[in-house]
Structure 1
Amino acid sequence: MSRAALLVIDVQESFRQRPIWAYGSNPDIVGQVDRLVTAARQRGDLVVWVLHAEPGTGGVFDPARGHVRLLDGLTPTAGEPTLVKTAHNAFTTTNLQQLLTTAGVDDLTVCGIRTEQCVETTARVGSDLGYRMTFVTDATQTFPIPHREVPETATVEEILADPRTMTTEEIITRTEYALAGRFATISTVDEVIGAALADARR
């Protein structure tokens, strides 16, 4: 029997430790993800939590710093696996595909941080692996991206003042254009919850 799963990708404290956090696209990322998680649990879907780690780097993604944990307000329940990845997508460095195959999952919904990076990359890889992907844009979050020539030492103020910086709105639009019709169905939290309620009435 076919089953669906929700992947919650990198909604972790690491990002909140960065100065750019205050300029994120979705201040209510925890609330939006929690709505999806609640709907998935009610429908009996598998919920999989994914965290990103960069061991030995000394940065905010180094587990030794203590920030590789879910943001406050999000808590897995019994039976919901938490995977730790070291690549951009959630498949390459984890046993995610084996876990989904064992659970009989064909449909994958993705949300999390960052819109154009780990969430989009997971959607692309998942699609290539044969999963039907749903990308819930308003349950993702991203941040302004500096031009490639901007030094890593640039301050947030310098990045925001640079006309070459890609805004969060531009990033989200680009991601949706790239995914739609190729790798994933673009959806909203309300649409996903509405579909879940419709399934429950059948």
Structure 2
Amino acid sequence: MALRPEKTALILIDVQSAFVERERAGERRNNPGALDNMVRLLEAFRARGLAVFHVRHASTEAHSLLRPERPGFQPIEAVRERAGEPVFVKNVNSAFIGTGLEEGLRRDDARTLVLAGITTNHCVETTARMAGNLGFDTRLVEDACYTFDRIGHGGQRETAEAIHAMTLSNLDGEFATIETTNSVLAALNASAAA
């Protein structure tokens, strides 16, 4: 993986307390180290002064944990934005619809987007698909996002691991390149050494 850091932005998607609440309520997820990896990416981008964009979901559904007036809307503290890091609030799955995200990225001349967040098969996937369609070099960090078990279309239980893997398969090579936290950090280090 090669990166031009000055043309690269990290986008953290929906890293919000509602998902911690879901885990505490007994829902099962994959990638137990995903939040730690999000923090590693965030720290690396911040240390190099690179662009960081935060996205939050403000649900319009009456009983959603992600409604803006509920505690679940708040970011997970470990990845809370700092002064100067833009926060875009969306009401649908894509971070590009109804927000100024694309304009912000174009203004910063970002060409490569490094995506991480929650959940892999919903807002992360939708944002990755749109980023690819908008012409961005989209890199989805597989170990810095996660999802939950769910009941599938036919009534069978689908594991978070299977859902996550299928999402990556659907995106890879068409909408995004699948990366790991280590591959992104290695690329940042290599570009600094060049």
TM-score (normalizing by structure 1): 0.87
Question: What RMSD, in angstroms, separates the aligned Cα atoms of the two structures?
Answer: 1.8
Asked if structure 2 preserves the Cα contact closer than 8 Å seen for 1:91 and 1:122, the reply is yes
Match for residue 40 of structure 2 among 35, 43, 47: 35
TM-score (normalizing by structure 2): 0.91
Q: CA deviation at 1:97?
A: 0.5
Q: CA deviation at 1:63?
A: 1.2
Q: CA deviation at 1:83?
A: 1.1
Match for residue 81 of structure 1 among 74, 80, 86: 86
Matched, 1:188 2:180: yes
Matched, 1:10 2:2: no
Identity over aligned pairs, percent: 35
Asked if structure 2 preserves the Cα contact closer than 8 Å seen for 1:30 and 1:71, the reply is no
* Structure 1: gaps spanning 5 or more residues: 151-163
The equivalent residue for 2:108 is 103
Q: CA deviation at 1:73?
A: 1.6
Q: CA deviation at 1:21?
A: 5.7
Say how many residue pairs are matched: 189
Matched, 1:197 2:189: yes
- Aligned pairs for 1:4-153 (under 5 A) are 4-18=8-22, 22-55=27-60, 57-148=62-153, 150=155
- Aligned pairs for 1:174-185 (under 5 A) are 174-185=166-177
Q: CA deviation at 1:56?
A: 6.1
Q: CA deviation at 1:149?
A: 5.7
Asked if structure 2 preserves the Cα contact closer than 8 Å seen for 1:116 and 1:142, the reply is yes
Asked if structure 1 preserves the Cα contact closer than 8 Å seen for 2:144 and 2:180, the reply is yes
Asked if structure 1 preserves the Cα contact closer than 8 Å seen for 2:151 and 2:158, the reply is yes
Q: Equivalents in 2 of 1:66, 1:36: separation in Å?
A: 25
Q: Equivalents in 1 of 2:160, 2:61: separation in Å?
A: 30
Q: Equivalents in 2 of 1:172, 1:183: separation in Å?
A: 15
- Which runs of structure 1 show a deviation greater than 6 angstroms over 4 or more consecutive aligned residues? none
Q: CA deviation at 1:22?
A: 4.5
Q: Equivalents in 2 of 1:89, 1:5: separation in Å?
A: 17
Q: CA deviation at 1:165?
A: 1.2
- Based on CA coordinates, which of the two structures has the bigger radius of gyration? 1
Q: CA deviation at 1:147?
A: 2.1
Asked if structure 2 preserves the Cα contact closer than 8 Å seen for 1:58 and 1:64, the reply is no
Q: CA deviation at 1:179?
A: 1.0
Q: CA deviation at 1:30?
A: 2.2
Q: Equivalents in 2 of 1:191, 1:80: separation in Å?
A: 24
Q: CA deviation at 1:114?
A: 0.4
Deviates more, 1:53-62 or 1:97-106: 53-62
Residue identity in the other structure for 1:68: F
